[in-house]
Chains A and B, each alone.
Chain A
């Protein structure tokens, strides 16, 4: 194995070990939270709502909850690990090594995307306790999950470099990401909205992610999945480029 690959894999391994060895902090919270979602929205309320788009309400909200968990955890992983490393200066062990800036970004984003995907699988696992989980378009499902976890891993890198206190991380996750997801058609169909709010909702990028994953799971979408995938992929490339430039400039990392 050449030195570049060893450097990259070492940082990926370090990042994976960090979240795997702390399941009570990383994997247990989404399991409990989603079990509560399924219980309340799926079983208690869902039984009164009936079918949406030809599937049970539980199956309808499941893709949105998968997206919520995937993007929250991939964003949180990247932003926390970079900010914590800056806060305690130990990220300097990476920065003073011969790793390329490209490898550093790729490692942080890959590990964060992986955590988002693991969280997605755990949420699906919890969903299986309550209902059957269809996979109508596996290629789209995998593609959307890969792209959105990579995108939010990349955004998490920016957040981790920008944050100057732990409060910043909370603000980004609780006050920006979660509202966007909740208004991103996770719990309802765009069809039920008045035309004005439906058009406003289309400005929310989460709508495209939720609909994409929903298309992958239950085969129903209100937006063309190919367009969504293309736009999200393009956005991901732009975000990763920004990550690279920030590392190259030493933004938040060097004086």
Chain B
């Protein structure tokens, strides 16, 4: 049986009064493009750092391709390439040497390490900056370099902690292309992001985390289907008050400037019954528009509490 790329069970980590990971259960299959969503402080980075050895768990187990991240840490880490959110790059050396060193730490000989470093810089499009130190790169190039460093060991599991934070649209699309090519070639991707659009567009499945726990795991489409869609109906004669409709799944009905707005779970499935009910009550429907719930709305619904969510839609 094929081992999952990541398997976490009962994972716990506490910092003082803060329970960063609270019995986290999560499985990521090999070859998946898996998204990890959650507000700040949800435990995403703590989880990632547990996998790569920068955080020691208090309880539970975490495995990478069947290797325990603490007992078999060498085997587990050899399979992981990580691009962290913060820039943690050796400032003493030109970037090509930083990549050679990283490859060497993974046991790759000098000649091959050089070739891999060159390939990685070409892949992310900063080959001409190879003899430059990290501090002298632009912000976008720094982001590209961190990805190159994650790629240089040819990992089976690529962990990207907000790889496109603060980059322009063009670079974001470039990075998406690179990551997608890696995934198409069989690399498992674990992506954390605050850009919901990124998760919708790239991920096979997403997990929504909050308070150190997994709230839900599903495909982006499944999650969106669980959200409340809005069905806007333009009637031939608009009633003075919103009619009462006896259709399962409806959560709200109101009259708006655009027409009759019906909020319902699974808009596509509910719309025909709504039309039949309206016609049965003597209304004529001239037009109908289904506005699907966005993943962002579902995310906010699932993680809503007293915290600020400004960053979610950043």
Residue ranges of A at the interface with B (Cβ–Cβ < 8 Å) = 1-4, 6-7, 9-11, 13-14, 17-18, 21, 85, 88-90, 92-100, 250, 253-255
Contact = CB atoms under 8 A, between A and B. Distances in A.
Contacts of B52: 95-96
Contacts of A97: 77-78, 102, 105-106, 153
A250 B56 contact: yes
Contact of B54 (A3, A4, A17, A92): A92
Give 8 nearest A-B pairs by CB, closest first: A10-B104, A3-B107, A89-B88, A97-B105, A98-B78, A98-B74, A96-B52, A90-B90
Contact of A95 (B53, B90, B93, B104): B53
Contacts of B92: 18, 21
B50 to A, nearest CB: 9
- Max count, chain B CB within 10 A of own CB: residue among A1, A3, A11: A3
Contact of A6 (B82, B89, B108): B108
A99 B101 CA distance: 12
A180 B56 CA distance: 38
Interface in B11-48: 15
A250 to B, nearest CB: 6
Contacts of A92: 54, 84, 88
A92 B49 CA distance: 10
Nearest to B105: A97
A158 B108 CA distance: 29
B60 to A, nearest CB: 16
A52 to B, nearest CB: 43
Given A96-B52, A96-B77, A254-B53, A89 B107 contact: no
A90 B74 CA distance: 19
B54 A254 contact: yes
11 contacts: A7-B104, A7-B107, A17-B93, A88-B91, A90-B88, A92-B88, A93-B89, A97-B78, A98-B74, A98-B78, A98-B106
B107 A96 contact: no
A94 B105 contact: yes
Nearest to A22: B92
Contacts of A94: 105
Contacts of B194: none
A90 B101 CA distance: 12
B80 interface: yes
Interface string B53-87: 11110000000000000000111011010101010
B179 to A, nearest CB: 19
B164 to A, nearest CB: 20
B140 interface: no
A99 B92 CA distance: 21
Given A7-B105, A96-B52, A254-B54, 5 more contacts: A3-B106, A10-B101, A92-B54, A92-B84, A100-B74
B143 interface: no
B55 A98 contact: no
Contacts of B15: 255
B15 to A, nearest CB: 7
B81 to A, nearest CB: 9
Interface in B117-174: 149, 153
Given A17-B93, A254-B54, A255-B54, A96 B82 contact: yes
Contacts of A254: 53-56
A96 B159 CA distance: 12
A100 B113 CA distance: 19
B249 interface: no
A35 to B, nearest CB: 28
A159 B89 CA distance: 22
B239 interface: no
Contacts of B106: 3, 7, 97-98
B10 interface: no
B202 to A, nearest CB: 23
B186 interface: no
B102 A93 contact: yes
B109 interface: yes
B71 to A, nearest CB: 12
B104 A6 contact: yes
A31 B23 CA distance: 58
Nearest to B80: A96
B56 to A, nearest CB: 5
Contacts of A18: 92-93
B88 A99 contact: no
Contacts of B74: 98-100
Contacts of A11: 101, 104-105
